[in-house]
A and B are shown apart, each in its own frame.
Chain A
Amino acid sequence: MMATLEWVTLAVCSAAFLLRAPDAVRGRNRTVFGILFLGTLCSVLAVSELYEAVDGVLGGRKLTSLILRYLVFATVLLVGLRLMRGLAAARAHALIAGGIGRWALGLSCLAVTVTFFLMGTYSSQDGLQVLAGGEPNAALESYFTAAGRAYPAYVSLVLVPPLLATVRSRLPRLVRAGALLVLFGAFFAVLTFPASFAPDSWAGAQHVINYSAALGYVVGLVLFWFSGLISNESGNRNATLRKDRN
């Protein structure tokens, strides 16, 4: 089941990436395309087999898991900034781009790096999953995992109120559906942080949460894009000045 989840996430991310490619070539919103590119890259590294292969190329010292953390941070940062600009949520934007947001990003990077090197190269960490860890490193491992999820959880927490407001608004239905999916993604991303301290027996649930978060974000973004493609109108559009009398 874990392998299925990994591959499904990769397939969805790649599909979103390819769907969005023609628009990016035309120069439309390349940042969103970049987000999907980074997301796809993350989901590639989140697949165990591909992770092993990439790590082998990089010397087999699990450096890839650190790189993956940085990639996730970059993706989340871009998603947060774009979403908050799109939803015109000035306060949330400031919480991500402003001082607090930078501190959160800096501290998360530092925590991830420090725990990674404290662990040495013995741990067996990969992607978004925790394999059965080495003997003394078990505690460090869960700190490493938690540090890697702290920043995404923080950004997602900031995103929740504006997303909720959008879902409850009277904007076009597809836009609200997109916001709802991203909201689900953000909700699960917040959950991943406490989940990283859960006992190993909960591994299954942890994976579902991780991949649901990624899927929610990606599918939500695709829906925003799609709603723009087939822009439909809502509400009582007849009550306008220019409407011709029939």
Chain B
Amino acid sequence: MPLPAKAFQLWLHGVAPNESTADICRISGIKRTTLAQQLVRGKVAETTLVSISRALKRSPLDDLASFDSYAELVGPPQPPTKAELVSQIATMDLLRAVISRSSPAYGGFGDEGSSLTPALGPAPHATSVRNWVDSIDDGELRHRVSAATGIAPQNYSAQLTANRLSPELAVATARAAGVGFTGGLVATGLITEAEAGWPAQARQAALDGLSDGDLTALAGERLQSLGKTLRRQEQEHEQTKKIWENLG
């Protein structure tokens, strides 16, 4: 559920008492019409709050926690698990790590976490959300989330496939899995790793901590699901093309 406009305006007045709405929009890069619309509807998107908080050089996480619906975020965040950290590494970076650990004959350096391996791309990546949920799923997580929030399982699943998850659902998912709340917010791209308080090299360290077997198996799983996605896209593309060729 987005933030109530009243509480948002109260917060905005508290953190930027002297700025006009126009100033706020200019520094945060939000369109004035967008903000005005959200205020009129009485619901302000979390992304709006985060952009403004960021522009004012405040902590988006703390500002989010100051709202009733995100009160759970108050206090020092529980750090992400190793699996969560690894889930936020892009598939191609995992593959690069596999090659980098292989022998020089295959273009690798034969070691772990070599300084020659290029740095990881920033989170989130193209399948962040699903990979994050998979990394904390004990098999029953989706049922628990749907029971707790009332979202239909197929709608939840559709959001994961589209690499989206509302902040509210991300928090609910973390709660149902018993992990820290920052993982989902980073995976959905609402806040950055640094804003979540993750150490700069946390993901790299988690990757280096994976055994060759675990890394290879994980990369294999990722490749397989990427292959499925690509195949489905190709198939849909063919179907659509055929419709347009015959009926367009």
Contacts and interface: CB of A to CB of B under 8 A. Distances in A.
Interface of A: 28-29, 32, 82-83, 85-88, 166, 169-172, 175, 178, 221, 224-225, 227-229, 231, 234-241, 243, 245
Nearest to A31: B246
Contacts, number: 82
B239 A85 contact: no
Interface size class of B (residues with CB under 8 A): 20 to 34
Given A236-B161, A239-B163, A245 B121 contact: yes
B90 interface: yes
Given A29-B247, A245-B121, A235 B239 contact: no
Q: Report whether over half of chain A's contact residues are helix, strand or loop; otherwise say mixed.
A: loop
Interface in B228-245: 229-230, 232-233, 236, 239-240, 242-245
Given A88-B242, A169-B236, A236-B127, 8 more contacts: A88-B239, A171-B239, A172-B240, A175-B240, A224-B247, A234-B236, A239-B163, A239-B226
B157 to A, nearest CB: 12
A243 B126 contact: yes
* 6 tightest Cβ-Cβ pairs between the two chains A and B: A228-B248, A86-B246, A228-B244, A238-B126, A224-B247, A86-B247
A225 B229 contact: no
Q: Report whether over half of chain B's contact residues are helix, strand or loop; otherwise say mixed.
A: helix
A225 B247 contact: yes
B243 A87 contact: yes
A202 B240 CA distance: 41
Given A86-B242, A88-B242, A171-B239, A238 B163 contact: yes
Given A29-B248, A235-B161, A236-B161, A224 B243 contact: yes
Contacts of A85: 242, 246
B220 to A, nearest CB: 16
A31 to B, nearest CB: 8
Contacts of A82: 246-247
A245 B243 CA distance: 32
A237 B162 CA distance: 8
B247 A221 contact: yes
Contacts of B242: 85-88
B236 A170 contact: yes
Contacts of B248: 28-29, 32, 224-225, 227-229
A240 B247 contact: no
